[in-house]
Amino acid sequence: MNKAKLITFEGIDGAGKSTHIPFVVDLLKAAGHTIVSTREPGGTELGEQLRTLLLREPMHLETEALLMFAARREHIDKVIAPALARGDWVISDRFTDASFAYQGGGRHLAIEKLEILEKWVHSHLQPDLTLLFDVPLEVARARLKASREPDKFEQEQNEFFANTRTEYLRRAAEFPARFKVIDSNQAITKIQEELREILQVIIDKTVINK
């Protein structure tokens, strides 16, 4: 049996990833997989408490990065690793690439420090596929304005998001084997078509044997 997959969704706030997660979950379920759908920061009881702090409270940028990885440590232990061990596929709304993009790109925390945390927290685990939803800054900002009350990150200025987006794209170029960059400034049906193609490849490679 091929091993279960970890698929992560990434993109700057307003890039539209949340719209596409249910579509991907349904697609994978239809292919016969059991899906655990989760998110970061969060995904566990403790992680959700850390999320509330992270999305509301101002804090030193290193505290922010450490708490993101603390929540992630718990998330891997309690949710991600057990699910993969059972053979379930895991869909995570954000993972470590978000720490590189937001804390590294957006807040200028040294990438080397993030690499140390990454090695500490999950040296043997990487997503099998990372879907990066990419849109021009203005589009993302306009979408956000139309939605609800902004959290701590969503209140950041354009420069922060420009740097976050640049770091996401830099990582996509650095790890082309697992990243798929999706132009999120297209009609939803067009994006769904693209997602269907990308996921079909990974589904076809997997033998379901439960």
Site of interaction with ligand TYD (CB under 6 A): 13, 18, 40-41, 68, 93-94, 98-99, 102-103, 153
Provide the minimum distance between the beta carbon of 18 and ligand TYD in the complex, in angstroms, as a whole number: 5
Closest by CA to 117, choosing from 61, 169, 160, 166, is 61
Closer CB to ligand TYD, residue 33 or residue 94?
94
Q: In whole angstroms, what is the distance from residue 79 CA to residue 102 CA? A: 23
C-alpha to C-alpha distances, 57 to 21, 50, 54, 177, nearest whole angstrom:
27, 10, 6, 36
Q: For the chain, how big is the Rg over CA atoms in Å?
A: 17
Closer CB to ligand TYD, residue 31 or residue 81?
81
Provide the minimum distance between the beta carbon of 40 and ligand TYD in the complex, in angstroms, as a whole number: 4
Closer CB to ligand TYD, residue 99 or residue 130?
99
Closer CB to ligand TYD, residue 94 or residue 141?
94
Contact of 12 with 144, CB cutoff 8 Å: no
Closer CB to ligand TYD, residue 28 or residue 68?
68
Count of beta carbons in the 10 Å neighbourhood of residue 61 = 15
Closer CB to ligand TYD, residue 14 or residue 84?
14
Provide CB contacts within 8 A for 112, sequence distance 6+. none
Provide the minimum distance between the beta carbon of 186 and ligand TYD in the complex, in angstroms, as a whole number: 20
Provide the minimum distance between the beta carbon of 92 and ligand TYD in the complex, in angstroms, as a whole number: 9
Q: Edge-to-edge strands of the sheet including 179-183?
A: 35-39, 89-93, 6-10, 129-134, 179-183
**Is beta strand 6-10 parallel, antiparallel or unpaired with respect to 35-39?**
unpaired
Provide the minimum distance between the beta carbon of 21 and ligand TYD in the complex, in angstroms, as a whole number: 10
Contact of 206 with 5, CB cutoff 8 Å: yes
Provide the minimum distance between the beta carbon of 128 and ligand TYD in the complex, in angstroms, as a whole number: 18
